[in-house]
Amino acid sequence: MYVGGYGFSVAVSVLAIMITVGGICLGIGYATGNRRLKEFGRDELNQCVINGLLIGGLTALFLPSGLVTTVIDASVPANAAFHCPAYLGSNAAICFADGYLSGSGYSMGGASHASILSQSTGLMIGLLSLNTVLGLLSSMKISIDVASFSLQQVLSPVLSQIQFFIKALSTVSISVLVQSSILSAIAESATTIILPIGIILRTFYPTRQVGGFMLGVVIGLYVVFPLTYLLNASIINSYQISLSNSTITSLSSSANGLDSYVSSVHPNANDTGSIISGISPFLSSISEEVSGLVDTIMNYISYFIMAAFILPAFSVVITSISIRETASILGSETSFNLFEMI
């Protein structure tokens, strides 16, 4: 992480200017007996002392070997994230959150886990394949002499359930990708852009409260928010649900078997009873397997909704509270309705 450069230099220069302004106002106030100038100059010098301590303290805290890095590294289990991009590696908590959400996976409690995105897309691909096969079957017509019938009415409820699951999994995947993008933006900008700007604005008298708020935002987003994903992962791992691919494979096999059987029926066949009796075992097998699959996938969807929506909402609440309280400590009265509601 990089906190020096122009931002630090500008902050030091502005601090020197404000010390000069405070000293001049204090001197003029004493010389003229102006009480307001004396109070302003004294308050400004006091704030300059605080700002100087903040500049030095925050710069030291966010250095690669600073306290923030030490605390984050101590909080994240060793080798918790399998791999993450280099620009995320400076913050172990963000690296872990990336692996947990959409990266190459993560490790917790001695066990390795795939990311939420990998799990949801894997299930979605299986359901898409199944939806394609059943969709083709539902569009086929079976002709026997002068009569014909289709499987659309039989398979329509099954297709509706599968399509609902696919939409739900798509929403989960989008949510996870958005969260990963937010974490990437935080890793790129928190200590390199927002922190220096916050220090500079905290030094200026007119923008002091805005600067304090921005410093609170940096601490909340860079430290608190990524660490909440450690808590989320520990909670979600206690509700791990296993879905065997053999269930989907078996269902696809039954559907393919029915497809092959229907395709082989001759249009002029007159043995209606034998044809229907040949279709019945496939439909019975599909019905039984779908019944068991729907219950399991419903539990799995609940698992994904908790991971992609409910737990991140608590992360946002905790982060918002930390930003509000930290900004208040740094002398900012800036607030938004969201923080006031919390």
How does pLDDT run across 184-194, given as a tens digit for each residue? 999 988 888 88
**Residue 308: both structure tokens together:** 């992609």
Contact 230, 73 (CB under 8 A): no
| Pairing relationship of beta strands 147-150 and 141-144 according to DSSP bridges | antiparallel
Alpha carbon distance 207, 198 (integer Å): 9
Closest CA to 291 of 115, 107, 161: 161
Tens-digit pLDDT profile for residues 32-88: 888 888 888 888 888 888 888 887 887 777 777 778 888 888 888 777 766 788 778
Q: Domain ranges in the chain?
A: 1-61, 75-341
Work out the number of other CB atoms within 10 angstroms of the CB of residue 112: 11
Q: How many residues does the chain have?
A: 342
Highest mean pLDDT pick, 121-135, 203-217, 253-267, 268-282: 203-217
